[in-house]
Amino acid sequence: MRNAALTLGLIGGVLAMIVGFFGYGYTEFVASHDAIGDFGNQVDHPMVIKMASFLAPILAIAGAAMARSQNIPAGVLMLASAVGIYVAFGFNVFTMFPIAMCGLGGLLALAARQPDTH
């Protein structure tokens, strides 16, 4: 179960990084180009988007790296990553896989009782 948590956390973290690049880039683009008119509007809380774009992938990948040795903190980090993605970006076609993979990886890490056999 710990190996599955590691794999799901890594994949979810990489997907969260891709979503984060676009989220952060969008907020910066709209902030620096005031003359775009109706082409794009600034989000309500751009700092929430920026912080989640930065922290969620780091939490997921750090949790995945810890999954084999420290399963409880790893599970908490991956679940925090899934919650951060959901709060910042919502649940949509671009975030459903990072949320699901980080969430499932976190649950598997928390449910792991003993180390995986080699």
Q: Residue 17's CB: how many other CB atoms inside 10 A? A: 17
Residue 117 is predicted with a pLDDT of 60
pLDDT tens, 61-76? Answer: 999 999 998 999 999 9
Each residue's pLDDT, cut to its tens digit, for the chain (118 residues) gives 889 999 999 999 999 999 999 999 988 888 887 666 566 677 778 899 999 999 999 999 999 999 998 999 999 999 999 999 999 999 999 999 999 999 999 999 999 877 656 5
Retrieve residue 100's tokens: 């699901």
Please give the C-alpha separations between residue 75 and each of 7, 28, 46, 68, 94, in angstroms, as whole numbers: 13, 32, 28, 11, 23
Domain ranges of the chain: 2-32+43-111
Residue-level length of the chain = 118
In the block, residue with structure tokens 């989000």: 43
